[in-house]
Structure 1
Amino acid sequence: MPTTKATIEATAQGIASMLCAHGPEVEWRICTIWEVAYGLIPLSYSIVDLPEIIVAAPLQPPLLSWNLYIPLLKVLEYLPHGSPSEACLMKIFVATVEAILQRTFPAESLYDHTRKAKYVLGFASQNIAVAEL
């Protein structure tokens, strides 16, 4: 499994580098495309300036699952704190946790899921902030 771990690390570093290496305008566009791809921003959103290929042939949003959990955390490790990319990945991370909770506990209300996800992520964010100190 060391090869798999090294591949995940290299991929995370590459994605973080790609997001931040070309300046804030490119970073914002990549983040916007990701958020649209995951269904977090509707294609009709007027502020979003998407490439024509995405608008003409939208993809089905990928299934949000635990398979994204470790890769998202790894990429977050390499992003500058407070960057637009970090905010974008946190939105995808929150959406992933909410989707998993909704599938796991379908009888509970969406409000309860959101509250739980925000509590878990708020607690995790506090731990990250303390660890950075």
Structure 2
Amino acid sequence: MRALGPIRRPPLMKIRSRSFEWRQQKLRIATLVIPHRGIHPSCEEIQPMSTTTTYAVTGLTCSCCAKSVTTELNKIDGVHDVQVDVVPDSASRVTLTSSSDIAADDVRGAIEAAGYALSDPATA
């Protein structure tokens, strides 16, 4: 590793550093501290960036089932993340995170394309 040169920083920022020894080497860690200036007026109206909905899906029995449902749901525009909790003898939980509300018909179509059935959104 090579040593970094002097750090240039804008005014009002502070650098805190701490030295310690690890495995017989002396190390120094520097942290850049930016003072809090309050919330900018334009940031007060920020809306949530994602929506999470949980659905009950019947017929899932293994990780391969979960993968096929995940693959189909990820094809829907706006979907960021899909989490599947497989419950073999009951309805499994599929949690869908998206940038906006996804129509239930789109979710139902994707799950049916994977070969499973969608129940109403789960209540947990």
Range class of TM-score, shorter chain: under 0.3
TM-score (norm 1): 0.20
Structure holding more helix per residue: 1
Structure holding more strand per residue: 2
Indicate the structure (1 or 2) with the bigger Cα radius of gyration: 2
